């Protein structure tokens, strides 16, 4: 038994922040941002619009695409770094909105790898016969923990949401998932505030801190290993892949992984120019873009991968 992606959905908040807007906020240029990251614009949540608000829109679209009803959802795994509340978790808050009571609902807090982790967990439950209609969401309002005076991070992070519905299928679906973490890198990318550690008044303390060049190097190295690990686990050659659906952090990281796979850019779903880095939302957002514009077709082989703070990273090989 496999868990098959029955439907995808995504949602982006209305407000668009361009590189030119950022030029007026920090000491940067459109040219620098495009050259070093590939990002041209990103979406930012409205005041009062929360992670669950974004996730709900994406989830409803995925549910509709799967041809099921909200009440059919019996399992929710919600990847996010920017939850609405300390608790209840975002999965539970979404469950209440969808009106699908009783099944497990939880959030997964593994930064940009949040969706891939949540997908891997949901996949196991569907395969084991313990969930029949699982909803996996990745949603973020990273703008709330971005220091808009720090040019090294303000140009990168953004808001958005993506979701998939998983259902059991005897033929094909998620072939394997591969998750990793290395806490030795905890100081390379983090937000140094929290319930137990405290919420100091000083605003800069509540924002993302990143040693960008170090993150870049380790991301390229580990993503390269992760995609090869997934192919090896299934005894597949690189040439078997139809699409790479990567985490959208930086076009140069995506290109490095593509080189490792000998994949031309035309076989990679790239949304970083329009979405920026939406952390846990980035992979399901890119997947939904590729599915809805008709590039990704049923039966094709996809490799999903993500890398984030922790560090955490992982991949999923999917027969769509
Ligand atoms: N605008 C203009 N100049 C900037 C800038 C900005 N927004 N941010 C940094 N710079 C400057 C630096 O001050 C530095 O100047 P100097 O050479 O005079 O000291 C120069 O640009 C190069 O900085 P560096 O940090 O080495 O650039 P980089 O090529 O590594 O690119 C990142 C910076 C952040 C784009 C890149 O490191 C990156 O993408 N890292 C990974 C980030 C990531 O993926 N994070 C999320 C993981 S999920």
User: What is the spatial distance between Cα 248 and Cα 142, in angstroms, rounded to a whole number?
Assistant: 14
pLDDT at 154: 96
Beta bridge partners of 10: 162
How many residues are given for the chain? 320
pLDDT at 202: 64
pLDDT at 46: 98
The finding on whether 82 has its CB within 6 A of some atom of ligand 1 is no
Atom index in ligand 1 nearest the CA of residue 309 equals: 48
242 CA distance to ligand 1 centroid (A)? 32
**From 19, 89, 250, 277, the catalytic residue:** 277
pLDDT at 5: 98
pLDDT at 203: 66
Atom index in ligand 1 nearest the CA of residue 152 equals: 8
The rounded average pLDDT for each run of 10 residues, N- to C-terminus, in the chain (320 residues) is 97 98 97 98 98 98 98 98 97 98 97 98 98 98 95 96 98 96 97 86 78 94 92 94 96 93 93 98 98 98 97 97
275 labelled catalytic = no
253 CA distance to ligand 1 centroid (A)? 13
Atom index in ligand 1 nearest the CA of residue 307 equals: 48
133 labelled catalytic = no
**From 100, 247, 250, 275, the catalytic residue:** 247
Sheet holding 312-319, edge to edge: 174-181, 312-319, 301-308, 243-246
pLDDT at 200: 75
User: Which of 158, 212, 248, 253 has most ligand 1 atoms within 8 Å of CB, for mutation?
Assistant: 212
User: What is the spatial distance between Cα 283 and Cα 271, in angstroms, rounded to a whole number?
Assistant: 9
Q: How far apart are the first and last CA of the chain?
A: 15
Beta bridge partners of 163: 9, 137
The alpha-helical segments, DSSP class H, found in 17-138 are 19-23, 30-37, 51-66, 90-98, 114-127
Residue from 317, 288, 315, 287 nearest 301 by CA: 317
The DSSP element (H or E) to which 272 belongs, if any, is helix 272-275
pLDDT at 260: 86
The DSSP element (H or E) to which 290 belongs, if any, is helix 282-292
247 labelled catalytic = yes
Ramachandran area for residue 310 (φ above 0: left; ψ -120 to 50: alpha; else beta): left
**From 112, 178, 191, 250, the catalytic residue:** 112
- My answer on whether omega of the bond before 216 falls inside 30° of 0, hence cis, is no
User: What is the spatial distance between Cα 114 and Cα 77, in angstroms, rounded to a whole number?
Assistant: 10
23 CA distance to ligand 1 centroid (A)? 15
Given a contact cutoff of 8 angstroms between Cβ atoms, the answer to whether 250 and 272 are in contact is yes
């Amino acid at each position: 038994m496999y868990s098959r992606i029955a439907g995808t959905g995504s949602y982006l908040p209305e407000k668009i922040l361009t590189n030119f807007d950022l030029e007026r906020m920090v000491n940067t240029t459109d040219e620098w941002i495009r050259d070093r990251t590939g990002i041209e614009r990103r979406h930012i949540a409205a005041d009062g619009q929360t992670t669950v608000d974004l996730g709900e829109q994406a989830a409803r679209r995925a549910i509709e695409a799967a041809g099921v009803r909200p009440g059919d959802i019996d399992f929710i795994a919600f990847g996010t770094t920017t939850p609405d509340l300390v608790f209840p978790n975002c999965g539970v808050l979404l469950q209440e909105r969808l009106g699908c009571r009783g099944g497990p609902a939880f959030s997964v807090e593994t930064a940009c790898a949040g969706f891939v982790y949540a997908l891997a967990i949901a996949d196991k439950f569907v395969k084991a016969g313990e969930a029949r209609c699982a909803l996996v969401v990745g949603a973020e309002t990273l703008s709330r923990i971005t220091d808009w005076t720090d040019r090294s991070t303000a140009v990168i992070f953004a808001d958005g949401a993506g979701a998939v519905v998983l259902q059991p299928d005897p033929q094909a679906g998620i072939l394997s998932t591969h998750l990793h973490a290395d806490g030795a890198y905890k100081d390379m990318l983090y937000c140094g505030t929290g319930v137990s550690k405290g919420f100091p008044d000083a605003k800069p303390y509540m924002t993302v801190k990143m040693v960008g060049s170090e993150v870049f190097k380790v991301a390229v190295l580990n993503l390269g290993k992760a995609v090869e690990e997934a192919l090896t686990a299934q005894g597949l050659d690189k040439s078997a892949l139809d699409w790479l659906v990567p985490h959208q952090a930086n076009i140069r990281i995506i290109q490095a992984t593509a080189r490792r796979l000998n994949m031309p850019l035309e076989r990679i779903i790239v949304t970083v120019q329009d979405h920026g880095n939406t952390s846990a939302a980035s992979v399901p957002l890119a997947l939904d873009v590729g599915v809805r514009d008709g590039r990704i077709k049923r039966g094709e082989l996809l490799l999903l991968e993500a890398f984030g703070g922790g560090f955490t990273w992982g991949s999923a090989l999917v027969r769509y």
